[in-house]
A = this chain, B = another copy of it.
């Protein structure tokens, strides 16, 4: 709780109760939640929590650089408090989003050599190990 609060103030965000709870949720559940998911969970603890607050808070987190947006699917915006450059894998069977590491430094790109890079997003879609295993059992 102390660290979360400090994380906010360090980023120029006043640590209100709602903001602390939302950031705590993001850091404890690394499940790349949607606004819907965050609200649904937190409204149990904070009955008055409005969805607008979740939207406003996440927008602010992204602007201040302590949260990144995951656009792996066009109909759902997900959020991740891990702002390090890493990839996201979405299983098309169970819909779970996995984190993965990739070598950003040795990523060879051409055609955009003289461009300045601010953010890199790598998304892979497919079938995860667990679902592959379950599919094999069935057949």
Tell me the A residues contacting B by CB distance below 8 Å: 69, 71-74, 77, 87, 89, 91-92, 98-103, 106-112, 114-129, 132
Contact = CB atoms under 8 A, between A and B. Distances in A.
Stoichiometry (number of copies) = 2
How would you classify the secondary structure of chain A's contact residues: helix, strand, loop or mixed?
A: strand
Contacts of A110: 100-102
Given A71-B123, A115-B124, A115-B127, 12 more contacts: A69-B74, A71-B71, A71-B73, A89-B115, A100-B111, A102-B107, A107-B107, A117-B124, A117-B126, A120-B123, A121-B124, A122-B122
A125 to B, nearest CB: 5
A101 B117 CA distance: 15
